[in-house]
Amino acid sequence: MPTAAVVSASAAAAPAAAAAAPPPIPSKGLRLRLQEGVYASFSADGQLAVEASPHDGEGLAGFAQRLCGDARLAPQVLEANHLARGARLKTGRLYHLPFDLLAAAWQLEAARALFPQDRGDATGWRHQVRGVGALRRENLWELSEWFTGKGENFRAIREYNNLRDEDVTQGAVLTIPSELLRPAFGAALPVPLKPYVLAYGKDQDGDYAVYRLRPGEALYSGVVVRFTGRIYAADVNALAVEIAHRSGIDDVTAIPVGFKVKIPLDLLQPEFLPEGDPRRKEYEASLRASSHFSNQVRAKGLEGITVILDAGHGGHDSGATLGSVWESLYVYDIALRLKGLLESRTAAAVELTTRDGDGFHVVDADVLPASRGHAVLTNPPYPIADPVVGVNLRWYLANSFFRRALSAANDPQKIVFLSIHADSLHPSLRGAMAYIPAARMRDESYGKRGAIYEARQEFRESPRVEFPWSQRVQSEGLSRQLAKQVIGAFEESGLPVHPFTPVRDRIIRNRSEWVPAVLRYNSVPSKMLLEVCNLNNDLDRRLLQTRGYRQRVAEAVLQGLLAYYGQSASQPAVRVARATK
């Protein structure tokens, strides 16, 4: 039990300042004016909402943008008001906006109006129970829905406040712990939420870190994925068992809030190790060294920039597959869409490492037809049969593109390499993540041998690659900056992003760690491998099978590239590009 719970329990027992406390909400409900045409409402059945009428001349999209913070929620606004698709809103009429649909600012304002005694403090949101009518009290379930978005959190709130049952007395003050709050209330706390705190200890089995499980957290994502960096299902499951055993947990599905989970120190990602630990120091030193390098090139409309696009897999290498969903088909489609955007909206030169068939055709369909026609565009091309040969020829080809672009541009920072993939991870994980090359995990010098390589011009131009340490460190720094811009653009466009460390400098799997070959032997200083989503996650997989999502991914990558070259989204590339072309 957290210490704070005791404090709030005693506060709950003390009568609140009676003079200032508002009367119970009438049992028929309550409507309070927030501003002209906008009301906070508390319905007879205990739902919080806002009711609002459109401004003169304000359409549905504008209305949804103003109240929900997103014009794309327009269909949900219609649905909440039992209106058919395409219906028009009438000025002067009030429309119902359920709490879940509201923009954070309106959620906060409505709650503050209805519960004027409420406030945030360092531990969470302090809610004074106002009660409803003469007969009914607020119950913990609905209270939990209002402030956390999930009724199921009522148990954690009950435990946190040392309550014996779901009864809450009028005038009592409860704390809704900060970790559980909806973003609207979390953002209103005076102290920003501490991300997490680890303590360290030692027992007969060795050194460990202790993490106290927070309400609503699962061992898999809350502990294993976050602190050990494992993301593949087999790894996550195995470590969850190991950590549960080490911590004395019998049932991983019923771990009490606040339980001390012990994580063996050697499983921790370096950034979570105690200060001064050699592994953490080495990690911090590499971050510091690579952070000295940042892209200095500013390019309006990407004028003078070469973008090398690599769609992962292809041909007989379908990559991650889930039923008929092949990674190779969907990432190639995204690469084509991105090529189209770059060529129509910017002045960048675009090179693709592979092609399916004779031309670059975007298939106008959600679910993509199977194809094994992809070849690596070396000279002569390589119809992809062996995945390893396919990957090696990609970096030979990328390096050849790089040499050619460099002789024209005369600045290595004007060239970027982007490999597009989709992951197959633990099903609880969602969203995009990026890999960049860790300087310490790349070879100084490397080259392939064999007839299949020697037959190709790109190999013969330069059979071996050499990467001195300084170059690898610089590449890590530039690539991290590039990847952060691209992931940042995903976040800005509302696309799902991996919850922990979305930019990673190596793959961790099966107790080994490596940099993907397509980055490892790649001469382009600014490079990244983008995993657009997790095919093992049902929601992500369904999204990937829609044209709209793939187009949005391509748009986000475009915004990330523009940002890397010093152009924010507010300076549209369109006009610039047309002016310069």
**How is residue 278 written in tokens?**
């050699």
Smaller CB separation from Zn ion, 81 or 371: 371
The per-residue DSSP string of 154-219 comes to: HHHHHHHTT-SSSB--TT-EEEEEGGGS-HHHHTTSSSPPP----EEEEETTEEEEEEEPPTT--I
Closest CA to 144 of 123, 171, 121, 124: 124
To Zn ion, the closest distance from the beta carbon of 531 in angstroms equals 7
Smaller CB separation from Zn ion, 177 or 312: 312
To Zn ion, the closest distance from the beta carbon of 518 in angstroms equals 10
To Zn ion, the closest distance from the beta carbon of 230 in angstroms equals 18
Told to check if 314 binds Zn ion by CB under 5 A, we report: no
How wide is the angle at C-alpha 408 spanned by C-alphas 406 and 413, nearest 5°?
Answer: 40
Longest C-alpha distance within the chain, in Å?
A: 89
Smaller CB separation from Zn ion, 24 or 319: 319
Residues numbered 201-240 forming contacts with Zn ion, rule: CB under 5 A? none
* Amino acid at residue number 341: L
Told to check if 374 binds Zn ion by CB under 5 A, we report: no
To Zn ion, the closest distance from the beta carbon of 331 in angstroms equals 7
Backbone φ and ψ of 542, nearest 5° = -65, -40
Q: Site for Zn ion (CB under 5 A): how many residues?
A: 3
How wide is the angle at C-alpha 540 spanned by C-alphas 536 and 544, nearest 5°?
Answer: 110
Smaller CB separation from Zn ion, 108 or 422: 422
Asked if 325 and 535 touch (Cβ cutoff 8 Å), the reply is: yes
Find the part of the chain contacting Zn ion (CB under 5 A) among 250-258, 319-327, 351-359, 559-567.
Answer: 319-327
Smaller CB separation from Zn ion, 312 or 496: 312
Distance CA(391)–CA(306), nearest Å, equals 21
Find the part of the chain contacting Zn ion (CB under 5 A) among 2-10, 265-273, 305-313, 537-545.
Answer: 305-313
Smaller CB separation from Zn ion, 126 or 426: 426
Told to check if 319 binds Zn ion by CB under 5 A, we report: yes
Smaller CB separation from Zn ion, 301 or 312: 312
To Zn ion, the closest distance from the beta carbon of 535 in angstroms equals 9
Buried b (16+ CB within 10 A) or exposed e, 200-229: eeeeeeebbbebebbbbbebbbbbbbbbbb
Rounded (to 5) percent helix, strand, coil in the chain: 40, 20, 40
Find the part of the chain contacting Zn ion (CB under 5 A) among 228-236, 309-317, 356-364, 491-499.
Answer: 309-317
Find the part of the chain contacting Zn ion (CB under 5 A) among 308-316, 434-442, 547-555, 559-567.
Answer: 308-316
Site string for Zn ion, 261-300 (x = CB under 5 A): ----------------------------------------
Buried b (16+ CB within 10 A) or exposed e, 135-149: eebbbbbbbbbbbbb
Smaller CB separation from Zn ion, 24 or 431: 431
Site string for Zn ion, 393-432 (x = CB under 5 A): ----------------------------x-----------
To Zn ion, the closest distance from the beta carbon of 516 in angstroms equals 9
**How is residue 282 written in tokens?**
């080495």
* Amino acid at residue number 89: L
Smaller CB separation from Zn ion, 58 or 386: 386
Told to check if 480 binds Zn ion by CB under 5 A, we report: no
- The DSSP symbol for 265 reads G
To Zn ion, the closest distance from the beta carbon of 529 in angstroms equals 8
Residues numbered 438-457 forming contacts with Zn ion, rule: CB under 5 A? none
Distance CA(436)–CA(157), nearest Å, equals 41
Q: How many residues appear in the chain?
A: 581
Smaller CB separation from Zn ion, 262 or 421: 421
Told to check if 312 binds Zn ion by CB under 5 A, we report: yes
H or E segment to which residue 51 belongs = strand 48-52
To Zn ion, the closest distance from the beta carbon of 328 in angstroms equals 8
Task: Using CB positions, name the residue nearest to Zn ion.
Answer: 421
**How is residue 335 written in tokens?**
């690469």
To Zn ion, the closest distance from the beta carbon of 425 in angstroms equals 11
Interface residues with Zn ion (CB under 5 A) are: 312, 319, 421
